[in-house]
Structure 1
Amino acid sequence: MSTYLIVILLIVILDFFWTQYLSYRNRKRMSPEIPAQLDGIYDKQEYARQQEYQKVNSRFGLLTSSIMFLIMLLVLLLGVFGWLDEILRQYITNEVTLTLAFFGIVYIANSIISLPFDYYATFVIEERFCFNKSTKAVFWLDQLKGFILTIVLGGIIFALLVWFYEALGDYAWLYAWGLVTLFSLFMTLFYSNIIVPLFNKQTPLEEGELRDAIESFSKKAGFAVKNIYVMDASKRSSKANAYFTGFGAKKRIVLFDTLINDLDTNEIVAVLAHEIGHYKKKHTLQGMVISVFYTGIILFLLSLFLDNEEIAIALGGTEPSFHLGIIAFSILFTPISLIIGIFSSIHSRMNEYQADAYAAGFGLSEPLISGLKKLSVKSLSNLNPDPLYVFFYYSHPTLLQRMDALRKIDS
């Protein structure tokens, strides 16, 4: 057993037990009694339902992650990745084709394993708590569309990345960085126009009180936008949301139809004021810049692993390859990713407070609090999570933290 394999196994094991420890701490916070700070948000019956929903999801998460953890251990110990590489090399000599075939088989195998869990989560757990609105036909069609989309887009990106690293030498990571950056920018600008319509219908928000209120606020905020759409999210779930996407003339506000059903006009305007706050505070731009630099660092570090024969041997292979290098790097990078994730979560939570404060600046604190309460209760959100769990995983402050911050602004 090589040193690299020992390190890889230790990282996989420690990562699993650390995430389960945090989940355990979160489960321990659950109680049949409504905490004093949640009084007036949840009634007794809804709180009991929320606690049961969180428990069921947490236990199911423990089951699925344990199974995936054991499978990964077996794959690493038995050298399955190297074995697959050796088998494919008997029939494929081109490195680009070899990488595509390798990741295609891994993706299909992973999908076969995870699909039963996704199906159970949708048609048993979400159905039990009255969230699921999807039919089996919609579910399987979504899986097929997602599969085709991943194969096409993933295949193109991977093919170009492998070609760069094979043909362009030491500076290949720079070209790869440029490619990934362009792709990310393209998706930011056109995701809602190209990808979303494959799964959901988006129709312009009809004339009326809500559109007038949104356009009036947008004008007041100096955020000219005419592209306001409603998405038929209710065909899959009763959970509500809204998002803002694009830049310049491509700016678009998308409201879930469930959001329109659950909130009143002032609350919807307050939620959108929060989203516009992200744009005004340059959070979207910040996120893109950070993501670009983060991607560049990852691709540079990855380039150091691709020609390492010891890594290939650790995974059961006999010679260096792009695909074995990526797998080893993705695992070895986990501790660094965890640390970066902490700072990313802290930064994200700060941005959420700033966006809330932006909405509060227009006198929308109470409608925003009211809307957030409704959305949290409707989705049975955990309003009393473990602080350490929040520190590591939450990109948003908890509802109670956001309420406190908004009321401090008002006072």
Structure 2
Amino acid sequence: MDQETIKYLLLFVVSFNFIFEKIINYLNVKKKMGPIPVTLQGFLDVDKLKESKAYQRAGYQFGLITGTFTFIITLILIGFGVFGWLDEWLRLYIQNPMLLTLAYFSIVFIGSDILSIPFDYYHTFKIENDFGFNNSTVKTFFLDKAKGYLLSIIIGGALLATLLWLILELGHDFWWIFWIVASLFMLLANLFYAGLILPLFNKLTPLEEGELKDAITSYANSVDFSLKNVFVMDGSKRSSKANAFFSGFGKRKKVVLFDTLIKQHTQEELVAVLAHEIGHYQKGHIKTGMLAGILQTGLMLYILSLFIFSEPLSLALGGNQMAIHLNIIAFSILFTPISMILGMGMNYLSRKNEFEADAFAKTTYSGPPLAKALKTLSVKTLSDINPHPLYVFINYSHPPLLKRLAKLE
């Protein structure tokens, strides 16, 4: 294809993604609430149901504003060749190809983040605050931003530099070498996230000795699961929402419980939640999820290798010559529909895994306390109990609450 055809294709893909996403979101937010399900009576009342719907509407309206803003900016950048102009301007000062690309993406990243800061701030200190979720301070908000920049420079910069070096040295064959590098990084990130990255943002404290730890240890032993690392995270530092997650493999596996989760649930419910998380591990979901992510990354890199030296792609973004960074940007836009389809597949797999983990907890521990924990968690976080089926199919990584309860109860 010539550069003009590619340019219009880029504009079409951006427009299609925006319109499709907004239609799906509109269908979901306009879906009627319906009566309170029998299984949620005693947990959810009419006022709480209306508050939940108001929270969904607030999120939809905010997403509509931010999405429209991003959409318009992207159209301007592509339509007026701003991406190409930035490339030509940087070439006046930087001739080294690797330094040029690193500088280019640094400017794009910083510019994009600066534009997003007001929206992030409003979402945290207005929307989340109005519905009683925000516990963060302005200091914490901007410290998180600074730490995020630092990690992006160190980790993101190192990965990008490696990618560029391989492209410049190996040409089209760069993809399978970088696939190995990216796969190793994904593995190491899973192993060391809770030990190295998470403590930069939150405090992790070993679960103190007592009835809860004894109950957790007793259950873990009953399913032949070696569990020595159970930590409590100060999630309440930023939000009143609760969560729990697994990280790592083998001896480095860790269970992290938010302090808000411990405050909101009984001991029996907490053990049931832990049983669910152990179910993910015992059923091999963590490994299969990582394998699926690695395969998806390999596919993306292979397709990228077919376009990385395409001059028409660079010219379509307003460049005067082939530029690796322009081609990466163009590819990231063109790959979006494929990424969306792959994302649906990953979400389907994730929902299937959630049902299996629920069944594991029900079989090896008990269904009612897990069901009660899910009800409490859903009501307290104002979750949508009646989402549109199409929205669920495309966006949900977890099954809707009522479907999980139907299987548990």
Give the alignment's TM-score, normalised by structure 1.
0.97
Question: Per-residue deviation at 1:41?
Answer: 3.7
Match of 1:232 in 2: 234
1:232–1:257 contact (8 Å) kept in structure 2:
yes
Among 158, 161, 167, the alignment partner of 2:160 is 158
Match of 1:310 in 2: 312
Question: Per-residue deviation at 1:39?
Answer: 4.2
**1:348 equivalent in alignment to 2:358:** no
Among 289, 292, 295, the alignment partner of 1:290 is 292
Match of 1:93 in 2: 95
Q: Find runs of 4+ consecutive structure 1 residues off by over 3 angstroms.
A: 30-41
In the alignment, the residues of structure 2 paired with residue 335 and residue 37 of structure 1 have an alpha-carbon distance, to the nearest angstrom, of: 38
1:306–1:322 contact (8 Å) kept in structure 2:
yes
Aligned residues: 407
Gapped runs of 5+ residues in structure 1? none
**1:134 equivalent in alignment to 2:170:** no
In the alignment, the residues of structure 1 paired with residue 268 and residue 322 of structure 2 have an alpha-carbon distance, to the nearest angstrom, of: 59
**Secondary structure at 1:225 match in 2:** coil
Among 51, 55, 60, the alignment partner of 2:53 is 51
Question: Per-residue deviation at 1:170?
Answer: 3.3
Match of 1:200 in 2: 202
Match of 1:374 in 2: 376
Cα shift readout 1:59-83 (whole Å, capped 9, x = no counterpart): 1111110111111011110111111
In the alignment, the residues of structure 2 paired with residue 374 and residue 165 of structure 1 have an alpha-carbon distance, to the nearest angstrom, of: 51
Distance 1:32 1:358, change over 3 A: closer
Among 20, 29, 47, the alignment partner of 1:27 is 29
**Secondary structure at 2:246 match in 1:** strand
**Secondary structure at 2:256 match in 1:** strand
2:14–2:333 contact (8 Å) kept in structure 1:
yes
**Secondary structure at 2:387 match in 1:** coil
Question: Per-residue deviation at 1:36?
Answer: 6.5
**1:393 equivalent in alignment to 2:389:** no
**One-letter amino acid matched to 1:237:** S
Question: Per-residue deviation at 1:321?
Answer: 2.0
**1:261 equivalent in alignment to 2:263:** yes
**One-letter amino acid matched to 2:298:** G
Cα shift readout 1:294-323 (whole Å, capped 9, x = no counterpart): 111111111111110000000001222221
Match of 1:4 in 2: 6
**One-letter amino acid matched to 2:193:** Y
Match of 1:357 in 2: 359
Gapped runs of 5+ residues in structure 2? none
**One-letter amino acid matched to 1:390:** V
Cα shift readout 1:156-183 (whole Å, capped 9, x = no counterpart): 1100100001012332111111111111
Match of 2:145 in 1: 143
In the alignment, the residues of structure 1 paired with residue 342 and residue 39 of structure 2 have an alpha-carbon distance, to the nearest angstrom, of: 32
In the alignment, the residues of structure 2 paired with residue 39 and residue 326 of structure 1 have an alpha-carbon distance, to the nearest angstrom, of: 52
In the alignment, the residues of structure 1 paired with residue 263 and residue 197 of structure 2 have an alpha-carbon distance, to the nearest angstrom, of: 25
Among 328, 352, 370, the alignment partner of 2:330 is 328
**One-letter amino acid matched to 2:211:** E
Cα shift readout 1:103-158 (whole Å, capped 9, x = no counterpart): 10001111111100000001111111111001111111111111111122111110
**One-letter amino acid matched to 2:236:** S
**One-letter amino acid matched to 1:381:** S
In the alignment, the residues of structure 2 paired with residue 170 and residue 305 of structure 1 have an alpha-carbon distance, to the nearest angstrom, of: 9
In the alignment, the residues of structure 2 paired with residue 313 and residue 173 of structure 1 have an alpha-carbon distance, to the nearest angstrom, of: 23
In the alignment, the residues of structure 2 paired with residue 269 and residue 253 of structure 1 have an alpha-carbon distance, to the nearest angstrom, of: 12
Match of 1:72 in 2: 74
In the alignment, the residues of structure 2 paired with residue 67 and residue 243 of structure 1 have an alpha-carbon distance, to the nearest angstrom, of: 34
1:240–1:256 contact (8 Å) kept in structure 2:
yes
After superposition, the CA RMSD in angstroms is: 1.3
**1:406 equivalent in alignment to 2:402:** no
Match of 2:321 in 1: 319
**One-letter amino acid matched to 1:160:** T
Cα shift readout 1:206-228 (whole Å, capped 9, x = no counterpart): 00011001111111111111111
Question: Per-residue deviation at 1:335?
Answer: 1.4
Distance 1:36 1:74, change over 3 A: farther
1:306–1:320 contact (8 Å) kept in structure 2:
no
**One-letter amino acid matched to 1:98:** L
In the alignment, the residues of structure 1 paired with residue 39 and residue 220 of structure 2 have an alpha-carbon distance, to the nearest angstrom, of: 34
In the alignment, the residues of structure 2 paired with residue 248 and residue 323 of structure 1 have an alpha-carbon distance, to the nearest angstrom, of: 39
In the alignment, the residues of structure 2 paired with residue 112 and residue 395 of structure 1 have an alpha-carbon distance, to the nearest angstrom, of: 29
In the alignment, the residues of structure 2 paired with residue 250 and residue 349 of structure 1 have an alpha-carbon distance, to the nearest angstrom, of: 26
In the alignment, the residues of structure 2 paired with residue 226 and residue 102 of structure 1 have an alpha-carbon distance, to the nearest angstrom, of: 45
